[in-house]
Homo-oligomer: A and B are copies of this chain.
Amino acid sequence: MTEEKAKKCPVELAMGMINKKWVIQLLRDMFFGVSRFNEFKEGKPNLSNKVLSNCLKEMELNGLIERIVDGDDSSNIEYKLTEKGLALNKVIYELAMFSLTTDIDNKYYSEEDKREISQIFEKQLFD
């Protein structure tokens, strides 16, 4: 029974969807309004087409995002968060808060940064 539980441990189940290299960054981008293939690549110098493509496909398979084709222009494609994907907002928020609150010596962020960044994330993640 312990092994049964371990096998479908909800933490592992969730991590299985987001622990690939670019997934979290793509999700964050989407929460911040990014929706197009080439936009996702901005600021990620070594994210290749193949890797991005595969990544988006897997996220779609996992039900986190959906691929929306404009009926009139089939090369007009947008990626949007599904209900399930949107449900990751708390996870992402806690990840951000972890970094901000454990940086007690202000190694990465000043106190001002922390306040500012917190507000930005709260706004984008919880509308």
Provide the main secondary structure of the chain A interface. helix
Asked if A53 is an interface residue, CB under 8 A from chain B, the answer is no
A87→B8 CA distance, assembly (Å) = 24
Interface residues of A in 1-21 (CB under 8 A from B): 2-3, 5-6, 8-15, 18-21
Given known A109-B8, A117-B10, contact A84–B102 (CB-CB < 8 A):
yes
Shortest beta-carbon distance from A90 to chain B in Å? 4
Task: Evaluate contact between B21 and A9: CB separation under 8 angstroms.
Answer: no
Shortest beta-carbon distance from A12 to chain B in Å? 6
Task: Evaluate contact between A101 and B87: CB separation under 8 angstroms.
Answer: yes
A64→B58 CA distance, assembly (Å) = 30
Interface residues of A in 100-119 (CB under 8 A from B): 100-102, 108-109, 117
